[in-house]
Amino acid sequence: MPKKYQTGLMWFRRDLRAQDNAALFHALKACHRVFCVFVFDRDILDALPRADRRVEFIRESLLDLDGQLRGLGHENGVTDAGLLVLHDRASAALPALAARLAVDAVFANHDDEPQSLARDASVQARLEAQGVAFHSFKDHVIFERSEVLTLAGKPYSVFTPYKNAWLKKIDRFYLTPYPVEKYAAALASAAAEADRGIPTLQALGFEKTNLSALKIPIGSRGGATLLEDFLGRIAHYDEKRNFPAVKGPSYLGVHLRFGTVSIRALAAAALSQQQAGNAGAASWLSELVWRDFYAQILSNFPHAASQAFKPDYDAIAWEQGDKADTLFQAWCDGQTGYPLVDAAMAQINQTGYMHNRLRMVSASFLVKDLGIDWRRGERYFAEKLNDFDLSANNGGWQWAASTGCDAQPYFRIFNPVSQSEKFDADGSFIRKYLPVLAGLPASALHSPWLARPLDLAAAGVVLGENYPAPIVQHDEARALTLQRYAVVRKRDR
């Protein structure tokens, strides 16, 4: 089949891999030669703290991607196929690059976050004014937008029927990898281009973080290593996933976020093992379906990005003023006096990761113990999480706040002490992230304000000095929460 375009431009965004990449496949198949670019978008980067693990992860993963592209080119007789990298505002820089390279078409994968959709609309308009086509493709999820609908043709807002429809629809077609290698001879040599080379963090205006000390595997090779490790223990995922001190999760969140792994490869592996009777794989597949579910929620109900999915819940009167600010800061700093919550916040602050069970517990505590608007917590996680994804983060926070689709009922309020006793019974996780409490016996670790003075003294714990007393009483806070949610109580009956 003759190729449609002479020259194309592949624009990498949240899909930092050369293998099984939808847009790259279509670009190589449609064009005689294809340049590849990544833009460090100032519209995004300028709003970030100067030490941001995600920027460092992207930068290191681009080195890996550049090597992949060079390798594919070399195997097909193309010298110096590799990545062009810009540090500019993508909305203007991408069309300018397309003009300079005289490309006929730009290829990219979908990004359905509101800011990204606005950027892409701007880029497409500029490209079309230049006579350049813009093509985008599904790559970040298995099913997107309106691909899975109810019998009435409406988007799902409840997970279980969505999951059932998802499982009914899935087949080999949706899981087949894109054979990029088959068309890799179309990669263009970028040797003569001025934008070769990956800029340093310093050149981007950022500082090094503790990413390397955390030993987070980087790039496609790192993602493949994590997946191989997880598949060797996936059978135990269901029984271990709720315990933060245990190696239970896949730890692939950041790789899914930046596309250094293929969602098709992950879903195919999980589905295959589920069909073989693997309960752990079935549980993990459900988590991947949740990811698709929240992505289509954001696409079909964009108001949820900034408002309650259930509009009635915007009537809730959250705590305001200095008191709210003080409580919120204590939560951010891990100084609430509830060890599991504080250890969870220490984990996210120190590593950019938080165990999923703890995301639920800490979110519930902020909203339903402290009475703080869920959007404040959502923004904090957005700043701190290495794997921050707007749809999943928003969905998780609205679930915890009972404001979202298929959320926990407003009257379900996690008790931070019983959650601690159940999921960190021996205190291993708490001791790791709150060394000040490490000397307490397990019986006293989950609620140190109830500990015997002798145990506190032996452990060197002085409440109110080196570890805080509880900033709220859970039972009292629960009663206030039920009053706060009274404005929407009838809706949930």
Which residues are identified as catalytic?
287, 290, 318, 356, 374, 397
- E-state strands within 376-488: none
Q: Is the Cβ–Cβ distance between 83 and 61 less than 8 Å?
A: no
Q: Is the Cβ–Cβ distance between 346 and 434 less than 8 Å?
A: yes
User: DSSP 3-state assignment of 133?
Assistant: strand
Cβ count near 322 (within 10 Å): 7
Nearest to 475 by CA among 410, 417, 409, 405: 417
Q: What is the CA radius of gyration of the chain?
A: 24
Cβ-based burial of 450 (10 A; exposed 0-12, middle 13-18, buried ≥19): exposed
Place of tokens 């540090």: 87
CA distance 338 to 450: 12
Q: Return the bridge partners of 105, or none.
A: 8, 133
CA distance 441 to 430: 12
CA distance 451 to 441: 9
Place of tokens 């062009």: 84
- E-state strands within 271-396: none
CA distance 434 to 339: 8
CA distance 109 to 180: 14
Nearest to 183 by CA among 26, 51, 357: 26
CA distance 427 to 340: 9
Cβ-based burial of 265 (10 A; exposed 0-12, middle 13-18, buried ≥19): middle
Cβ-based burial of 275 (10 A; exposed 0-12, middle 13-18, buried ≥19): exposed
Structure tokens at 196: 């070769």
Integer CA distances (angstroms), 270 to 83, 203, 239, 279, 382, in order: 32, 41, 16, 10, 28
